[in-house]
Structure 1
Amino acid sequence: MKQTPTSIRLPFAVLIIFLGITFLSMSVKGQVLPLDPAVKVGHLPNGFTYYIRHNEEPKHRVYMYMVNKVGSVLEDEDQRGLAHFMEHMNFNGTVHFPHNELVDYLQKAGVRFGADINAYTSFDETVYELPLPSDKPDILREGMLIMHDWAQSATLDPTEIDKERGVVLEEKRLGKGAGERMQRVYWPVLLDNSRYAVRIPIGLDTVLDNFKRPTIARFYHDWYRPDLQALIIVGDINADSLEKVVKTMFSDLKNPVHERIRAKYTVALTGKNQFVAVTDKEMTSTTAEIIIKHPMLPLKTAVDYRKAIIQNLFNQMLAERYAELSRNVDPPFVGGGAGITGFMGGLDSYVASVNAKPGELEKGIKAVWRETERVKRFGFTATELERAKTAYLNGLDEQLQEKDKTSSESFVKEYQAYFLKDIAAPGIVAEAKLTRGDLPGITLSEVNNLAAEYITTTNRVVLIQAPDKDKNTLPNELIVNNWLRSVETENLSPYKDEVSKLPLLAVSPIPGKIIDEQQNKVLNITTITLNNGVKVILKPTDYKNDEIQFSAFAPGGTSLYSDADYQSAANAAGVIVSGGAGNFNTTELSKFLEEKQVGVAPYISDRYQGFSGSSTQKDLETAFQMIYAEFNEPRKDSVIFKGIIEKSKAALANRGNDPKNVFNDTVSAILSNYNVRRTGPTLEKLQEVNLDRAYTIYKERFSDASNFTFTFVGSIDTNVIKPLLEKYLGSLPSTNGHEVARDLGIHIPEGRIEKTIYKGSEPQSTVLLIFSGKFDYSAANSVKLDALKEALEIRLLQRLREDESGVYSPSVSEQTTKYPQQRYSFVIQFSCAPQNVDKLIASTLDEIAKLRNDGPLQENVDKWRTEGKNSLEPQLKTNGFWLGYINGQLQNNEDMEQVNHYNALLDDVTPASLKEMAGKYLTGDNYIRLVLLPETSLRRN
């Protein structure tokens, strides 16, 4: 982007000399921030824009995005929904990839449809996403051709249009429900009947069902044009050579001879206040939002950037205030908060929102508004601002530290916002320089002034959503306004920022000793044993410059407790950690951690107890202190506990209104053979959670460290971490109990089960088909089951979506376990029209029968194999993958070097071996069919 010229003119020369450097500094701050110099940006004569950047995270990968300043607001009345439909059609036939050849080609290249290759349409934009391997020149060339086709070469075959109607209508069906029905009512009010209120991207059934090719072709030729398009390419590529290709390939794109003006639509600020209350029988809670609209803050200059920092600090401190309020003994709401956020149509907004307890809307609204009023009246404190500044700078430092490890996709999103929304993208080095220059000088009064600027009495919308049964008790506009005014006249006191001066730990640990150390040079893993029996796995990596991820586990978990104790055991970690740790209660702990880049969370699952967390190198000792405190010095806070229970009760009150909740709870019950540990949440179960018992169980689970294994992956300095291991982990208590988890016998029941659940008013259905049973567990068989899953998903995508136009996105998942029993589950899921359920289930079972009788097509096995190899390569360069892999191998007693043989296992899979797997595991002997249908279907039956 061009820089705005400075305002220096000769008649003001004397004034300039007088003002000197101050004037020049102000002028520079008013300039548009230059784009990150690391990205190549160009504009072709036809108006087409490109951004190209070399980046090696991940290696051998490139991300290509075709970005269009084209969305549903540009539709004519007879085109409502066709901006989104056009997005679909670009996958259903282009000049070089007719019909479905595009998806087929990309699958063969190892790119997954829906997971890797994707697109979206919004009000003002349509974006196509394509990640590809960059070390295969032929695939890279084809990728550029795909981008070119997406820009202007869709064929819009009438046959493909008709086939895609059903798919788009099924996608629309997925969005139906209480939220969508209520939105139809409040959307015009919220958006002041602007263009956005009548151009929802999904469109109208009447258009989607009946439009002809010329109507969508008109939209395509009007708006898919080079002066509204940008190609963004970031990845492990040669940017110079690729720039030449872009200039050659995309210069032939044409703008229309009679070019329509691309209007910029906005939501008007009328100065009036509005109120809307809507109800629905499937709504599960009563919520209220107070939305105060303002012109959007631009983010183009250094001045804008400073304002954005102030806004972020404001939101950060306000969020902490509401978090503290939610921890009251009798919290005034299920959830609540406020802050400055984006809106749409050129607007920002201050939004105060509450999820109220049943029958307590007034209390909830007043509580949320009271904190807003407190901030407006008294502002924040100096100590709050200093903590927020430190946290902000720490986050920035972390980004700067990882600047050479930033993912390509992150850069793509940045340049996308630069092109579409004119949001500055100067790069992290420039941003760090701006922040370090601005942050120290930001004053408390500047942050506090935002409250007066944003919390105003005009352009305000009050939106209430509630269950139908509460319709007659909802307040009107006058009543809500009176509630707000009553808060504004209360005798409020300023917020007191109470910060503990104590150290985190109440007792200083007595260090233990490392007694054994083993090296696995193949995987660069060190296994350490401490004198109390704790085992530690260390895997130093350079995938991030300053990231350490860790976890811990020990056998036992909730399996060691009776059904009567289960609710207390299952909730023990969450309940106890919410009370704080060591010398700090939860509020003090939150303030202590706010300035640090560290997180530690204990857990108690079915078969294990342990920790998960992450840290930077600087805050690693704090992470160890947190582990020690949560292991040795947990806190029991009855006030926090009562608040959690009260909020949980309120959240359950109307849970059964939602058809999805009812269906999911039924599924969980059936698949666990109605075991009380797997059935849905209830008030009765909530009442079984006992604080004293939960505390005892927590202490029991973390009383013996001898059975714990800790794994640390990332930017580890072994010389630094070893003394910390001895001090904090070597000092943990040890009884050498060597507990093992119990087999509770909870698994999917055998035999054939069919159940239909009737719930909901929309004509939509959900189908689950489950195959399960005992499994001959091995790495090879697990890989084959994954291949079988992928082969079936490819076929269902082709048949149910493309051929029969009956679903939007069918999915297949599989899961295997080695302990406590070797078992598997194979789950097919899709949503569809109620009248198509039986037909689509029959088609699915027919495809499964083909797998059993004939095996999958070789080309589908090849697609799976290529995708598997492509996806593994970048995963191997992430700390998260290794942390999960190491823990999984340890818990399953599997060979740690198995990962090095993964590609060989993939190569061993053949259609014949998958036919054998299907014949063994998809017989239908253990088959469960679960269907959600609307209540109207029950009445018809």
Structure 2
Amino acid sequence: MRKIVPLFPNPRPLKGSTFVISLMFYLFWIKKEFAKLIENVLPFRGRGFGNNSNSWRCNAKNKAYYFFPFLLTFLISNSLSAQSTPLPNDPSVRSGRLPNGLQYFIKTNAKPEKYVELRLAIKTGSLQENKHQLGLAHFVEHMAFNGTRHFPKNELINYLESSGVRFGADLNAYTSFEETVYQLQVRNDTAHLHKGLLVLEDWASGISFDPKEVEKERGVVLSEWRNRQGPNQRLEDQYLPLLYGGSRRLQRLPIGDTAVIKHASIETIKAYYQKWYRPDLMAIVAVGDVDPLAMEQEIIRRFGKIPSVKGPKPKVYSNTVNTRRRGMVCTDPEVAFCQAFLYIRQATKEKIKPAPSTYGELRENLCRNLYNSILNRRLIRLQQQADPPFTFAGLGYGSDWGQNPLFSLSVFTSEAKLKTAIALLWQEVQKVQHHNFTSGELQRQKQEILNVLQNQAQAQETTNSANWANQLSEAFVLGVPYPTPQQRYQITQQFLADIDLDDLAGLIRGVPKDKNARVLILTGPEKTRTQLPVLSEMWHMLDSIEAAAPSIPAALEATNVADLPWVDEPLLAQPILSEKTQPEFGVHEFTLTNGIRIVAKPTPFRKDQILMMSSSPGGNSWVPDSLYVNAAYFADLMQQGGMGKFDFVHYQEKLTGKSVNVTPYLSELEEGFSGSCRSTELEDLLALVYLYATQPRFDTNSIASFRQRQENVLRNMLSTPYYQFAELKQRVKYGATPRRGLNRLEDLPILNSQSLHRIHQDRFGDLNDLLLVFVGDFELDQLKTLSQRYLGNLPAQDRKESWKDLGLNLSPGQIDSTSRGGIAPKTLVEYTWHGSFENTSLERYHFSSMVSALQIRLREVLREQESGIYSLSFDGNVEYHPRPVYRITLGFNTDPERDEELMQKAIQVIADFCATGPDAALLEKIKSTQGQNRQKAEQENSFWLAQLHQRYKEGWNLDGLRTEKYLELVEGLNAAVIQAAAQRYFDDKHRIKLVLKPK
């Protein structure tokens, strides 16, 4: 769906959204997003670098490009000291500027084949609104999809969907403070490509602002505002004025003012469009399977005719740094967690730019990245204590909304530990200030950065066009260079070789010392307000720690455990029992003597990527109820404990500089592993599978630590209305069985090492029926050799096992449940239809086609016609075991004053669909989308991994993987079979309706 960039999007510390630095580190430690952190801070992945060329003549690819790697090495060695030297641009990008000021960037890229990613990027956003236009930059973005010069009313979406474009996935847009970007993917044949460019042309200069469409879209924009309402938003409303009082950004949040959205005249809306949608502020980006010369000529022909418009340059707004010490305690009756944020801003003319433009800026970014990453790695040890001081925490350099240098501290913990947690974090900061890091820490983090960039460089030729297009559009907006991944890797490699502890010492000393430029914010549930620390005590504590800093001992150098091999014992290669090849699908199968089956498909789709998925039937269905709580947390505790000689901390150190990842799981009906790695890390991946299966570490310390952190999460969450509603939904659907309930605080003491080992021995102690599927960039002979060693030595007892039917079915009959909770002005609605399913390939196809068609119809009516919602979820799932059943779920939230009306409307849409089926236009949308989705999916490792795993697990043949076979299904799809499917599956005999209205 169309989106507005959230106030706190995915954290990018150097772009200006400061509060999310804490969230960045939270996600970082939980989900092993270390590589992502590095990419964002540098920032290289997805951010992009821009072209500052003022020449209309294009920067074409030429002979020098072929000698570029050699030239680059020479330039790096001679220019690293030239701090103001601009970073290089990708020489394969064809770029230029038209006489009317519009810029363009064109890049040929073959993935996916036969498609082109288009972007219209505009250097304007909510900051340019006047006081009568609050929210209208975002409103204009919405109107771009509701009528243009060549596509009146909803014809734009209708046309694009009929040509296979998915609304939300291939067609999208966003509005931020300083930019608006439209995104579109089209086929590369002449007709579709020209229509795609016509769409961009209309967005740039031909939005129609039809009065009826404007009135309808008001409701959609207000629904988007309503989506954001909740406890976190209310907390922000309290503390943002403390941080950014008087800031233009605080007064121009992209979502805007509801009063303006409701009442702004069409003339006022159009005034923003006419003033700021100008060619001198625009860029066209085209990346994909396209001839760059022909694309350039088409861009010149189409967009060169847009007349130049004189207008002001977008004004740059900075934030004034308040030098008065401030603090605030913020609470809300529905917030579930206690958090603390300490922000220290510097009053300096030097700004931290969103992305580096020069070698000098890149070097500074690398130093900040090293500092942030090493410091936060130290927090893992604190987090893993038996009685951890915090659940999540983060420290580091970034910038505020005005790009002022910022140091921040954030922590998520219980109210009782809030003061202790902040003290420990502040001590870590002071420890580093007085003792620096160790050489081992620095070297490991350098390797981590290089690993990320090397991955990107090696995958450069198989990178998706959307990534390149996003990079180039942000490049234009930020006005910075856009090196290739190979260039970035080579430059960074040179810099990192030169950066030492003395460089970090200079950065460390730069932590702001001004005690008056500090802001402390404490947040928590209203009921715990009296238990939160007093601000004056917190300030005194921070000052005392700072004064005593010289006496804090230095950190010890890490042990050498991370340097040890994964597996000590010699593993003898076990024989391959049988082999089979299916050359038509490029699939090779082999079975080891312990019964383990391996399915392998080498592919060229993504350079240096290997994906793995595995499963063994049984799952926790065989775990008795007395052990179920331990089984529910089993996989998390397995990861938290580590394996072999590596506890969680040493495991993380061992993974430094590697991309390998293995995740064990224990679901209701099966157990197994999923994983991924680089081509050179296949042995690491298989060694981790072996260790998880044979040497898990369920030690009491890791269990106690996990239990405490979970307690911090659950203690207050259980009393929030939305968690209570989620719990109610499960009770209504399944009754009181603990196997379908949500996590409970009283269950945590049950977790223990003995029970976990018992479950592990039963579920992973006999893997003779384990199926493993490997897809990606690997050599088959190497996989076979390593599998014989590591997988061939997995335990097997020759049990013939399956899952156990526990009889946990959805409640039969018609059930209606309405409850009240929450103070946000929105009603939550969820419908579930369910029943038995005839499990054939044709029925599965008809079912999914029916769901896709009805999802579009519901969106068209509830959003586009009724203006009652911003988005909806509509999913259809089939479960094949213990018996084939289906469920279809519809969910949305809406204005409480319209909830009954819209629920009735949704049911009426479904009834009408059952009575008449899809019309010809909707049928064409589904068939076109299916064909294109399949074409793109077949170029992805993830598609083949999921398909092969499912088919081998269920014993299905591979015929359905033939492209022509699937396209025959698509060609034979008609309105009658979709209508018949709807009539079968929307049987109100088994329908559950759950509604949460506000208090």
TM-score under structure 1 length normalisation: 0.95
CA RMSD in angstroms comes to: 1.9
User: Whole-Å Cα distance in 2 between the matches of residues 290 and 791 of structure 1?
Assistant: 49
Structure 1 residue 287 and structure 2 residue 339: aligned? yes
Match of 2:150 among 84, 92, 96: 96
Structure 1 residue 76 and structure 2 residue 130: aligned? yes
Does the Cα contact within 8 Å between 1:599 and 1:614 map onto a contact in 2?
Answer: yes
CA deviation after TM superposition for structure 1 residue 736, in Å: 0.4
Does the Cα contact within 8 Å between 1:374 and 1:494 map onto a contact in 2?
Answer: yes
Structure 1 residue 222 and structure 2 residue 275: aligned? yes
Match of 2:447 among 364, 376, 390: 390
Report what 1:262 is aligned to: 314
Report what 1:49 is aligned to: 103
Report what 2:528 is aligned to: 470
CA deviation after TM superposition for structure 1 residue 441, in Å: 1.1
Structure 1 residue 142 and structure 2 residue 204: aligned? no
1:581–1:27 Cα change, 3 Å = closer
Q: For each residue in 1:692-736, what CA deviation from the matched residue of structure 2 results, as whole angstroms up to 9, or x when unmatched?
A: 101211122111121111111111111222211111111122110
User: Whole-Å Cα distance in 1 between the matches of residues 82 and 398 of structure 2?
Assistant: 28
Report what 1:440 is aligned to: 497
**Which amino acid letter does the alignment assign opposite residue 636 of structure 1?**
F
Structure 1 residue 461 and structure 2 residue 538: aligned? no
TM-score under structure 2 length normalisation: 0.89
User: Whole-Å Cα distance in 2 between the matches of residues 890 and 668 of structure 1?
Assistant: 32
Report what 1:12 is aligned to: none
Q: For each residue in 1:390-417, what CA deviation from the matched residue of structure 2 results, as whole angstroms up to 9, or x when unmatched?
A: 2222222221111111111111222122
Does the Cα contact within 8 Å between 1:571 and 1:694 map onto a contact in 2?
Answer: no
Does the Cα contact within 8 Å between 2:52 and 2:479 map onto a contact in 1?
Answer: no
Report what 1:412 is aligned to: 469
1:679–1:618 Cα change, 3 Å = same
- Percentage of matched positions with identical amino acids: 31
CA deviation after TM superposition for structure 1 residue 907, in Å: 2.3
User: Whole-Å Cα distance in 1 between the matches of residues 212 and 96 of structure 2?
Assistant: 38
User: Whole-Å Cα distance in 2 between the matches of residues 545 and 138 of structure 1?
Assistant: 32
SS for the counterpart of 1:707 is coil
Structure 1 residue 165 and structure 2 residue 218: aligned? yes
**Which amino acid letter does the alignment assign opposite residue 598 of structure 2?**
V
CA deviation after TM superposition for structure 1 residue 249, in Å: 0.8
Q: For each residue in 1:895-921, what CA deviation from the matched residue of structure 2 results, as whole angstroms up to 9, or x when unmatched?
A: 223122222222222111122112211
1:833–1:763 Cα change, 3 Å = same
Deviates more, 1:281-290 or 1:453-462: 453-462
User: Whole-Å Cα distance in 2 between the matches of residues 470 and 748 of structure 1?
Assistant: 38
Match of 1:824 among 866, 883, 886: 886
Matched ranges for 1:457-856 at <5 A = 457=514, 459-488=517-546, 489=548, 491-496=551-556, 497-500=558-561, 501-856=563-918
Matched ranges for 1:163-242 at <5 A = 163-242=216-295
Q: For each residue in 1:311-363, what CA deviation from the matched residue of structure 2 results, as whole angstroms up to 9, or x when unmatched?
A: 22222212211122110111001211212234322234322110121322111
Report what 2:352 is aligned to: 296
Does the Cα contact within 8 Å between 1:576 and 1:695 map onto a contact in 2?
Answer: no
User: Whole-Å Cα distance in 1 between the matches of residues 992 and 506 of structure 2?
Assistant: 60
Does the Cα contact within 8 Å between 1:714 and 1:879 map onto a contact in 2?
Answer: yes
Structure 1 residue 106 and structure 2 residue 166: aligned? no
User: Whole-Å Cα distance in 1 between the matches of residues 53 and 829 of structure 2?
Assistant: 56
SS for the counterpart of 2:980 is helix
Report what 1:275 is aligned to: 327
Q: For each residue in 1:41-85, what CA deviation from the matched residue of structure 2 results, as whole angstroms up to 9, or x when unmatched?
A: 111111111111111111111111111111111111111111110
Runs of 4+ in 1 over 4 A off after TM superposition: 1-4, 21-24, 26-29
Report what 1:915 is aligned to: 979
SS for the counterpart of 2:416 is coil
Does the Cα contact within 8 Å between 2:52 and 2:480 map onto a contact in 1?
Answer: no
Report what 2:993 is aligned to: 929
Report what 1:902 is aligned to: 966
Q: For each residue in 1:357-398, what CA deviation from the matched residue of structure 2 results, as whole angstroms up to 9, or x when unmatched?
A: 132211121122222222222221101111111222222222
CA deviation after TM superposition for structure 1 residue 499, in Å: 2.7
Structure 2: segments with no counterpart, 5+ residues: 1-50, 55-74
User: Whole-Å Cα distance in 2 between the matches of residues 3 and 208 of structure 1?
Assistant: 38
CA deviation after TM superposition for structure 1 residue 276, in Å: 2.4
1:842–1:492 Cα change, 3 Å = same
Does the Cα contact within 8 Å between 1:95 and 1:153 map onto a contact in 2?
Answer: yes
SS for the counterpart of 1:841 is helix
More RCO (CA 8 Å, sep 6+): 2
Q: For each residue in 1:66-106, what CA deviation from the matched residue of structure 2 results, as whole angstroms up to 9, or x when unmatched?
A: 11111111111111111110100111111111111101101
User: Whole-Å Cα distance in 2 between the matches of residues 906 and 387 of structure 1?
Assistant: 52
Q: For each residue in 1:776-834, what CA deviation from the matched residue of structure 2 results, as whole angstroms up to 9, or x when unmatched?
A: 11121111111211221222112111211111112311001221111000111111011
Q: For each residue in 1:401-436, what CA deviation from the matched residue of structure 2 results, as whole angstroms up to 9, or x when unmatched?
A: 111111111112221222112233121222122112
Report what 1:373 is aligned to: 430
Report what 1:65 is aligned to: 119
User: Whole-Å Cα distance in 2 between the matches of residues 117 and 502 of structure 1?
Assistant: 49
CA deviation after TM superposition for structure 1 residue 616, in Å: 1.4
Structure 1 residue 133 and structure 2 residue 192: aligned? no
Q: For each residue in 1:120-175, what CA deviation from the matched residue of structure 2 results, as whole angstroms up to 9, or x when unmatched?
A: 111111111111122x2111111000001111111111111111111111111000
CA deviation after TM superposition for structure 1 residue 236, in Å: 0.8
SS for the counterpart of 2:908 is helix
Report what 1:15 is aligned to: none
Structure 1: segments with no counterpart, 5+ residues: 5-20, 936-941
**Which amino acid letter does the alignment assign opposite residue 559 of structure 2?**
E
**Which amino acid letter does the alignment assign opposite residue 359 of structure 2?**
A
User: Whole-Å Cα distance in 2 between the matches of residues 780 and 159 of structure 1?
Assistant: 43
Does the Cα contact within 8 Å between 2:619 and 2:667 map onto a contact in 1?
Answer: yes
SS for the counterpart of 2:118 is strand
Match of 1:352 among 382, 405, 409: 409
Match of 2:362 among 301, 305, 329: 305
The alignment covers a number of residue pairs equal to 917
Does the Cα contact within 8 Å between 1:357 and 1:647 map onto a contact in 2?
Answer: no
CA deviation after TM superposition for structure 1 residue 649, in Å: 1.0
User: Whole-Å Cα distance in 1 between the matches of residues 439 and 742 of structure 2?
Assistant: 46
SS for the counterpart of 1:594 is coil
Report what 2:40 is aligned to: none
